[in-house]
Amino acid sequence: MSRLPGIPRVALSWLLVAQVLVILPHLLHLPLWISLLWLAAAVWRVRIFRMRAGYPGAWIKGGLLLLVLAGIFLSRGTLVGLDAAVLLLIATFTLKLLEMRSRRDALVVVFLGFFCVVTGYLFEDGLLAALYSLLPVTALLAALIGLQSASLLERPWPTLRLAGGMLLQALPLMLMLFLLFPRIGPLWSLPMPGNQGVTGLSDSMDPADIAQLSRSPELVFRASFDGQPPAREQLYWRALTLEHFDGRRWSRGARGESPRTADWQQRGERLDYSIVMQPSGKPWLFALDVAELALDDARMMEDFRWQLRRPVERTLLYQAHSWPQAVRGIKVDSASLQRALALPREGDPRSRVWAAELQARHSNPDELVAALLQHFNREPYVYTLNPQPLGRDSIDDFLFNTRRGFCAHYAGAMTFVLRAAGIPARVVAGYQGGEFNPAGNYFQIRQFDAHAWVEYWQPGSGWRSVDPTFQVAPQRIENGSQEALAGEEGFLGDQPFSPLRYRELAWLNQLRLSWDGLNYGWQRWVLGYQGDQQLRLLNGWFGTLDWQRLALLITGVMTLSLGVLALWLLKPWRHRADLLGRLWQGFERQMARHGVQRLPGEGARSFARRAALALPQQAQLIEAFADCFEQQRYASAPASPRALRRALRELRRALPWRVRH
């Protein structure tokens, strides 16, 4: 291959296109100055190519680097961390344009581009992002081909076609490696930048917090059941248990962190389901009560919630089994009960007096709970996202004055009254219900499905769950937040263009559900294809596998794949003599029958001249055939075997029947 002079036009063009495609998906989380920096660098690079500007000097490059570092610090508040590192990588990917002088420099830019494409998955790993990433990868390959192939220096579209062909050729090997190569967990854990600024449940709860979540349609997790799924009103997804109250907020107590085994007994029918959880940056998991999860690094806490040892920083797939009728916590130590009865020393006097009255009228805890639920059902309470502000005694103000609130108001108020009446109780925070997607037979749970309910304890029965919100707004539990709050001003108030706001349009809603079904399949079968799922799949295909058999299997499959790919690319069957060659071989056989054998290494023209001397009567036809063969074989014009076949046929007719010996 001839040496390429500098950086070819086609390579530079595709490299600029690739940079646009690489940076484009990052614009949602990158500062504006990155786009301006790329635009300035691209214009400068084009002027350098047209010899209208020079390369920047060392002082200019150093100044630009310092400005980039200052911009990163001002934008992110630090130069350390994954988010700042991604920003620095994209900035260097952009600035490297200005110092490209040789093909080696351009190769560095191309390889930086591949790394930048990968960083996009830190922010978005959905199906659409994966499909889009093929565009910058193809453009980077086209730039790489333009740097290496002298025959494509001025041909951009053939370069692009070749890059696309290379991607297709790599597809079988990629699939084989994806299916067979052992899934290796991350060597370290860093907070993913895509989780910053996403609203979600926290380890403390103010009524306004959950109301705020109802404004967000962000997906939290998807759940699919084996067999018939339960009714929506039975889907209470536990996340946290909140038992400490400071007069305004509920938060987790020390008991939730206890490593002791939770006390519970299996009862009733088991529910089997799988969950695909979105990255949350929090360690807690979601499950129905009471659950067992098939996760090695997860554990059930004493308050029946499940927690990982590290935050969930990437899409997580796990299997779960739940017993909704299980008996929970029959044996509870006195210290735990005291924590479930604790209240601030002062505040909310009317609620305390009312609790004492209820306790005097109802000696049985279940009767007192039923009386409380009946009170919420019969009195003019309103379920709303826009309650009136509460005063210093927030429980009193809600129960006896405003009577307008969200699920956190009702759960917090009921827990306070139960504790004041001497019944151990606590708030459970999580999600309730979810939207069923018939396209994939699963539930999708979003932030606006955030919910809070109550657990109370009584001797002999353990912990029991009740939901005061159901007494006020049963449509919230039976039909979900979208139905209960559709008319509320605050519901999805920050999402004017969300497809969820236009569910009454049947075609748009069906399109939304179908696309979400595709994303669910992508997350479950591709992103969720981790060690356990891979092992189950391979064991189902090949039987029990150990490391040695798996290594042999990978080697064999890769060898077979590469062999098939090599056959498809090289096509050795096409290396046999073509039609022109076969016609020449026919000429050689005719000459051999008349005593003229072609010598080893003898050229076509020399052999034809020798044959013409040996057969002078047919010399003109022999030379005509040789001339025609040379024109067809070596001329730049397209071959036409018909003329050569006619010349051979005329020569064969002119040759004598009797063969010379």
Tokens of 164: 């696309």
Tokens of 611: 């044959």
Q: What is the largest CA-CA distance in the chain?
A: 134
What burial class does residue 583 get, using C-beta atoms within 10 Å of its C-beta: 0-12 exposed, 13-18 middle, 19+ buried?
buried
Q: What is the reported pLDDT for 489?
A: 56
Q: What is the reported pLDDT for 1?
A: 37
Report d(CA 578, CA 588) in Å as an integer. 15
Report d(CA 40, CA 591) in Å as an integer. 72
Q: Among the listed ranges 75-89, 142-156, 503-517, which one has the minimum average pLDDT value? A: 142-156
Catalytic amino acids?
A: 407, 451, 467
Give the number of C-alpha atoms closer than 13 A to the C-alpha of residue 65, restricted to the C-beta side.
Answer: 12
Residues in CB range of 517: below 8 A, 6 or more apart: 437, 439, 440
Q: What is the reported pLDDT for 417?
A: 94
Confidence of residue 216 (pLDDT cuts 50, 70, 90): confident
Q: Are strands 404-405 and 382-383 parallel, antiparallel or unpaired?
A: parallel
pLDDT of 24-71, one tens digit each? 888 888 888 888 888 988 898 888 888 888 888 888 888 888 998 998
Count CB atoms within 10 A of the CB of residue 394.
Answer: 23
Does residue 450 or residue 558 have the better pLDDT? 450
Query: Is the pLDDT at 255 greater than 60, yes or no?
Result: no
Among 443, 30, 441, smallest CA distance to 219 is for 443
Confidence of residue 2 (pLDDT cuts 50, 70, 90): very low
Residues in CB range of 424: below 8 A, 6 or more apart: 332, 337, 340, 341, 418, 456, 457
Q: What is the reported pLDDT for 256?
A: 47
Query: Is the pLDDT at 188 greater than 60, yes or no?
Result: no
Which value, to the nearest 10 degrees, does the dihedral of the CA atoms of residues 340, 341, 346, 351 take? 110
Confidence of residue 3 (pLDDT cuts 50, 70, 90): very low
Confidence of residue 370 (pLDDT cuts 50, 70, 90): very high
Measured CA to CA in angstroms, residue 281 lies from 226, 308, 312, 315 at distances of 28, 11, 5, 11
Query: Is the pLDDT at 409 greater than 70, yes or no?
Result: yes
Edge-first strand order for the sheet with 435-437 is 291-293, 316-322, 271-277, 219-225, 442-446, 435-437
- Please report, as a single letter, which amino acid is at residue 101: R
Confidence of residue 124 (pLDDT cuts 50, 70, 90): confident
pLDDT of 496-543, one tens digit each? 667 776 677 778 878 888 888 888 888 777 776 776 677 777 777 777
User: Helix 58-76 crosses helix 82-95 at what angle (to 10 degrees)?
Assistant: 150
Residues in CB range of 647: below 8 A, 6 or more apart: 621, 624, 625, 628
SS3 272: strand
Q: What is the reported pLDDT for 187?
A: 43
Confidence of residue 160 (pLDDT cuts 50, 70, 90): confident
Does residue 176 or residue 149 have the better pLDDT? 176
Q: Among the listed ranges 144-148, 188-192, 544-548, which one has the minimum average pLDDT value? A: 188-192
Query: Is the pLDDT at 254 greater than 60, yes or no?
Result: no
Query: Is the pLDDT at 577 greater than 50, yes or no?
Result: no
Measured CA to CA in angstroms, residue 308 lies from 283, 290, 317, 427 at distances of 5, 17, 13, 21
182, containing H or E segment = none
Q: What is the reported pLDDT for 210?
A: 63
Query: Is the pLDDT at 323 greater than 80, yes or no?
Result: yes
Considering the chain, what percentage of its residues have pLDDT values greater than 90?
Answer: 22
What's the predicted TM-score (pTM) here?
Answer: 0.70
Considering the chain, what percentage of its residues have pLDDT values greater than 70?
Answer: 84
Query: Is the pLDDT at 390 greater than 70, yes or no?
Result: yes
514-522 contact pairs (CB < 8 A, 24+): 514/439, 516/437, 516/439, 516/440, 516/444, 517/437, 517/439, 517/440, 518/127, 519/126, 519/127, 519/128, 520/222, 520/224, 520/276, 520/437, 520/440, 520/442, 520/444, 521/440, 522/126, 522/127, 522/130
Report d(CA 302, CA 639) in Å as an integer. 83
Among 305, 313, 310, smallest CA distance to 280 is for 313
Confidence of residue 275 (pLDDT cuts 50, 70, 90): very high
Query: Is the pLDDT at 273 greater than 60, yes or no?
Result: yes
- Please report, as a single letter, which amino acid is at residue 21: L
Measured CA to CA in angstroms, residue 250 lies from 207, 253, 455 at distances of 9, 9, 14
Does residue 607 or residue 155 have the better pLDDT? 607
Q: What is the reported pLDDT for 656?
A: 83
Query: Is the pLDDT at 227 greater than 90, yes or no?
Result: no
Q: What is the reported pLDDT for 514?
A: 85
Q: What is the reported pLDDT for 468?
A: 94
- Mean pLDDT (the chain, rounded): 82
Confidence of residue 495 (pLDDT cuts 50, 70, 90): low
SS3 79: coil
Q: What is the reported pLDDT for 640?
A: 67
What is the mean predicted confidence (pLDDT) over 326-342?
Answer: 87
Among 419, 490, 418, 406, smallest CA distance to 452 is for 406
The answer to whether the beta carbons of residues 253 and 244 sit under 8 Å apart is yes
Q: What is the reported pLDDT for 259?
A: 55
Q: What is the reported pLDDT for 213?
A: 65
Confidence of residue 83 (pLDDT cuts 50, 70, 90): confident
